[in-house]
């Protein structure tokens, strides 16, 4: 049950993980050991690259009085256990961010009160809704990014060191924007964030861009990374999912791709590999989805047919990845994959456009 969280500070200074050279060829993920990662072996005969946890959904529809769904949420390894920043839908149908704790990454104890943040100017500190959080460790700080209400959806940022006090920073972008996802270390001296400029409604378009910042406050040099299109499953819009995973071969990015059919949107999960030094360069991109709504808890709920990944816990030595995803805007679910298998899949099922 040992969790070793190596400081990203070394990476920021040297641009390289400690002992990275020695690990080359042995370990694909450049990260820490999380030996108690939630995990289940791939079922015999399963032909998929990623497979669902047999105990899904891990958070039920009504987890506590006052909540009508917990989904599209963040989870991280924390000391010998796990912490979550959850999207909790209240009974006024408004989503808010709540802290959650788990010993095993599967069973979650969710705080009844929403996270209290301080430090932001009054005009941005009382959003009516906050949703789809991601949590990213950079050096010794943890940054939460989420879709924040400010005259429409935009990207909010807060930081914490202890998950007791949370300092809210300026919003990163003008409205409208969603799916703000930070990289876990500076690249070429700058913080980088992926996002998906959007509209004020159920956005019928959307590409992934990257923006950079010297200080987490001022964001600019916005560049296009990858767009919707290509194959139908990702033809309407795409959005970054969990924090990109650094591998020896590039940044592994899981994302959602959306098709519009005659009954509405269908959200599936794909993946891409971005260049480690210049993430605007897409090296591989899945032309088939990795998983698409199929289980009952993905196809039946408040919004049927939504598979929405928001967090990945990785155990670098074993290459295991546990992905947390929102199912049907109602449940939280888990699926698993092995990094090398995902990279092989990407190389054999890739179209970059
Ligand atoms: C998006 C976001 C997500 C949601 C998805 C499907 O626009 O609002 O939170 O899961 O739609 O409804």
Q: Residue with the nearest Cα to atom 4 of ligand 1?
A: 329
Q: Which of 51, 23, 22 is nearest to 39 (CA)?
A: 51
The residue assigned the tokens 């200080």 is 215
Over residues 133-150, the pLDDT tens digits come to 999 999 999 999 999 999
Does residue 1 carry a pLDDT above 50?
no
CA of 186 to the centre of ligand 1 (A): 29
Measured by CA distance, the residue closest to atom 7 of ligand 1 is 202
In which residue are the tokens 């295991």 written?
320
Residue 20 scores a pLDDT above 70: no
Note the pLDDT tens digit of each residue in 38-54. Answer: 999 999 999 999 999 99
Confidence (pLDDT) at 26: 80
Across the chain, what does the average pLDDT equal?
94
Residue 308 Cβ inside 6 Å of ligand 1? The answer reads yes
Kindly state if the Cβ of 179 falls inside 6 Å of ligand 1. Answer: no
| 144-177 residue pLDDT tens | 999 999 999 999 999 999 999 999 999 999 999 9
Q: Which atom in ligand 1 lies closest to the alpha carbon of residue 131?
A: 9
> What was the pLDDT predicted at 23?
57
Confidence of residue 25 (pLDDT cuts 50, 70, 90): low
For ligand 1, what atom is nearest to the CA of residue 306? 6
Q: How far apart are CA 99 and CA 160, in angstroms?
A: 12
The count of C-alpha atoms lying within 13 angstroms of the C-alpha of 323, restricted to the half-sphere facing its C-beta, is: 32
User: Above pLDDT 90, what percent of the chain?
Assistant: 92
| Structure confidence at residue 325 (pLDDT) | 99
133 lines ligand 1 (CB under 6 A): no
- For ligand 1, whether the C-beta of 89 sits within 6 Å is no
Contact 300, 306 (CB under 8 A): no
């Amino acid at each position: 049950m040992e969790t070793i969280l190596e400081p990203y500070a070394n990476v920021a200074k040297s641009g390289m993980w400690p002992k990275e050279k020695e690990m080359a060829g042995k370990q694909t993920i450049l990260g820490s050991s999380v030996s108690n990662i939630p995990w289940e072996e791939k079922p015999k005969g399963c032909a998929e690259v990623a497979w669902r946890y047999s105990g899904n959904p891990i958070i039920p529809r009504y987890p506590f009085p006052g909540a009508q769904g917990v989904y599209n949420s963040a989870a991280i390894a924390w000391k010998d256990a796990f912490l979550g920043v959850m999207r909790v839908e209240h009974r006024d149908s408004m989503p808010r961010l709540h802290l959650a704790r788990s010993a095993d990454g599967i069973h979650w104890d969710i705080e009844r009160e929403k996270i209290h943040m301080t430090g932001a100017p009054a005009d941005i500190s009382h959003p009516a809704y906050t949703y789809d959080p991601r949590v990213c460790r950079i050096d010794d700080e943890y940054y939460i990014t989420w879709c924040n209400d400010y005259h429409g959806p935009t990207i909010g940022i807060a930081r914490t060191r202890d998950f007791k006090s949370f300092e809210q920073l300026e919003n990163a972008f003008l409205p409208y924007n969603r799916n703000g996802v930070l990289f876990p270390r500076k690249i070429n001296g700058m913080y980088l964030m992926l996002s998906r400029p959007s509209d004020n409604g159920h956005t019928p378009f959307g590409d992934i861009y990257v923006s950079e910042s010297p200080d987490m406050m001022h964001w600019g040099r916005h560049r296009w990374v990858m767009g919707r299109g290509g194959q139908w499953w990702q033809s309407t819009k795409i959005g970054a999912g969990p924090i990109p995973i650094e591998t020896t071969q590039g940044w592994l990015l899981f994302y959602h791709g959306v098709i519009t059919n005659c009954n509405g949107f269908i959200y599936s999960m794909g993946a891409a590999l971005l260049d480690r030094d210049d993430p605007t360069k897409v090296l591989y991109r899945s032309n088939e989805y990795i998983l698409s709504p199929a289980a009952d808890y993905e196809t039946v709920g408040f919004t049927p047919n939504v598979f929405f990944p928001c967090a990945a816990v990785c155990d670098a030595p074993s290459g295991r990845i546990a992905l947390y995803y929102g199912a049907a805007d109602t449940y939280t679910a888990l699926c698993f994959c092995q990094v090398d298998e995902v990279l092989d899949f990407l190389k054999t099922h890739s179209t970059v456009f």
